[in-house]
């Protein structure tokens, strides 16, 4: 049962990721990206990272994807019914991509990875919160500063100067 | 399902697909989608090493930082793309090659 669910999630993730980069309709790409992000959230749950899965759904699907769809809507004329986008140099891209994949797959297969058997954690959000507030306090504060800078920068860039 | 390699394979394939999108797409927003795929594949690796490699929760915290960065990057990139569209009437990144209008 678990194996079937895992295979299904992997198939959804990779299949819709393929659609993101292949389809000629920009909105289809965005919708396919939604399924990819959901699939990745499912993979997180299989890795006992349920808090990360929640964050993935809230920030990626609720935030970034909506922002992307906003961008698609704002950069196309309403009159143009077909919001299509073309690809170029498919052959060159495929060669480079397969080259990278041909390097990564044997590397993963041949390396003897250290695998520790760990136990399923009782609570994840609690431990992550403790780490953020104690060990990683400085990166946490820097991240909040980065978000503030991005907020002001994006508002400055996109305001109408006229 | 219960070993590290499975997740590394998935993340490698996701990375390659994102790279393919970044290379071949001409629309700026579609390139951004490719970047999101690459960031997601990096996140899968972080969480996988947190689960199997003994990094415990530090790996998940790093993935959290990557998600924060992705949100900031998407906001700024979309502001830039909308600016390019207002000035050039296109989001085709091949046409945006001049620094000054």
Looking up residue B49, the CATH number of its domain turns out to be: 1.10.287.3510
Which burial class, exposed, middle or buried, applies to A25 when counting CB atoms under 10 A from its CB (0-12, 13-18, 19+)?
middle
Are the C-beta atoms of residues B37 and B17 closer than 8 Å to each other? yes
DSSP state of A62: I
Are the C-beta atoms of residues A144 and B65 closer than 8 Å to each other? no
Q: Is residue B99 part of a domain?
A: no
Q: Averaged over A59-64, what is the pLDDT? A: 92
Contact A108 B8 (CB under 8 A): yes
Q: Is residue B95 part of a domain?
A: no
User: 3-state class of A125 per DSSP?
Assistant: helix
Strands (DSSP E) contained in chain B are: none
Q: Of the ranges A23-27, A114-118, A146-150, B72-76, which one carries the lowest mean pLDDT score?
A: A114-118
Question: Does the structure show a pLDDT above 90 at B82?
Answer: no
Q: Is residue B100 part of a domain?
A: no
Q: Is residue B94 part of a domain?
A: no
Contact B78 A52 (CB under 8 A): no
Higher pLDDT, A149 or B26: A149
Closest approach of B88 to chain A, Cα-based (Å): 11
In this predicted structure, what is the pLDDT of residue B73?
92
Q: Residue B25 — φ and ψ, nearest 5°? A: -75, 150
In this predicted structure, what is the pLDDT of residue A99?
94
Total structural domains in chain B?
A: 1
Name the band, by pLDDT with cuts 50, 70 and 90, for residue B85. confident
Contact A115 B32 (CB under 8 A): no
In this predicted structure, what is the pLDDT of residue A87?
65
Q: Of the ranges A22-36, A59-73, A95-109, A119-133, which one carries the lowest mean pLDDT score?
A: A119-133
Expressed as residue numbers, the domain containing B35 is: 4-88
Nearest to A157 among B36, B47, B79 (CB): B79
Q: Averaged over A145-162, what is the pLDDT? A: 86
Q: How many distinct helices (H) and strands (E) make up chain A?
A: 7, 0
Question: Does the structure show a pLDDT above 70 at B60?
Answer: yes
CB atoms within 10 A of CB B38: 19
Comparing alpha-carbon positions, the chain B residue that sits nearest to A132 is: B61
Q: Averaged over A89-113, what is the pLDDT? A: 90
Q: Which residues contact A47 (CB under 8 A, 6 or more apart)?
A: B7, B47, B48, B50, B51
In this predicted structure, what is the pLDDT of residue B86?
85
Comparing alpha-carbon positions, the chain B residue that sits nearest to A139 is: B65
d(CA A14, CA B9): 11
Are the C-beta atoms of residues A40 and B43 closer than 8 Å to each other? yes
d(CA B4, CA B45): 9
Q: Averaged over A137-159, what is the pLDDT? A: 91
Q: Is residue B25 part of a domain?
A: yes
- Taking only Cα atoms into account, the Rg of chain B, rounded to an integer number of angstroms, comes to 17
DSSP state of A112: -
Q: Is residue B81 part of a domain?
A: yes
Question: Does the structure show a pLDDT above 90 at A148?
Answer: yes
Contact B57 A127 (CB under 8 A): yes
In this predicted structure, what is the pLDDT of residue A32?
94
Q: Is residue B61 part of a domain?
A: yes
Are the C-beta atoms of residues B24 and A89 closer than 8 Å to each other? yes
Higher pLDDT, B91 or A46: A46
Question: Does the structure show a pLDDT above 80 at A81?
Answer: no
ipTM (interface predicted TM): 0.90
The DSSP bridge partners found for residue A84 are A25
Q: Is residue B46 part of a domain?
A: yes
Greatest Cα-to-Cα distance within chain B, rounded to the nearest angstrom: 55
DSSP element (H, E) containing A14: helix A2-22
Contact A21 B17 (CB under 8 A): yes
When scoring B2, B18, B27, B95 by the number of chain A Cβ atoms within 10 A, the one with the most, hence best to mutate, is B27
Closest approach of B100 to chain A, Cα-based (Å): 15
Question: Does the structure show a pLDDT above 90 at B2?
Answer: no
Computed over every residue of chain A, the mean pLDDT equals 88
Question: Does the structure show a pLDDT above 90 at B14?
Answer: yes
């Amino acid at each position: 049962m678990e194996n079937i669910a895992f295979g299904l999630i992997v198939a959804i993730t990779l299949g819709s990721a393929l659609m993101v980069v292949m389809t000629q309709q920009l909105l289809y790409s965005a919708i396919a990206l939604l399924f990819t992000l959901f699939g990745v959230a499912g993979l997180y749950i299989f890795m006992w990272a349920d808090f990360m899965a929640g964050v993935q759904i809230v920030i990626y699907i609720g935030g970034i994807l909506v922002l992307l769809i906003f961008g698609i809507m704002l950069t196309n004329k309403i009159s143009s019914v077909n919001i299509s986008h073309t690809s170029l140099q498919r052959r060159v891209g495929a060669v480079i991509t397969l080259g990278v994949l041909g390097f990564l797959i044997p590397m993963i297969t041949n390396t003897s990875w250290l695998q520790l058997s760990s136990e399923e954690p009782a609570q994840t959000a609690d431990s992550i919160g403790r780490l953020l507030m104690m060990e990683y306090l400085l990166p946490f504060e820097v991240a909040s500063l980065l978000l503030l800078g991005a907020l002001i920068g994006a508002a400055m860039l996109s305001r109408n100067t006229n | 399902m219960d070993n590290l390699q499975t997740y590394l394979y998935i993340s490698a394939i996701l990375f390659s697909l994102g790279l393919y999108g970044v290379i071949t797409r001409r629309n700026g927003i579609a390139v951004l989608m490719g970047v999101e795929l690459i960031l997601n594949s990096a996140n899968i690796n972080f969480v996988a090493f947190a689960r199997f490699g003994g990094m415990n929760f530090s790996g998940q915290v790093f993935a959290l930082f990557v998600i924060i960065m992705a949100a900031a990057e998407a906001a700024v990139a979309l502001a830039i793309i909308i600016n390019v569209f207002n000035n050039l009437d296109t989001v085709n990144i091949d046409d945006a090659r001049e620094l000054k209008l």
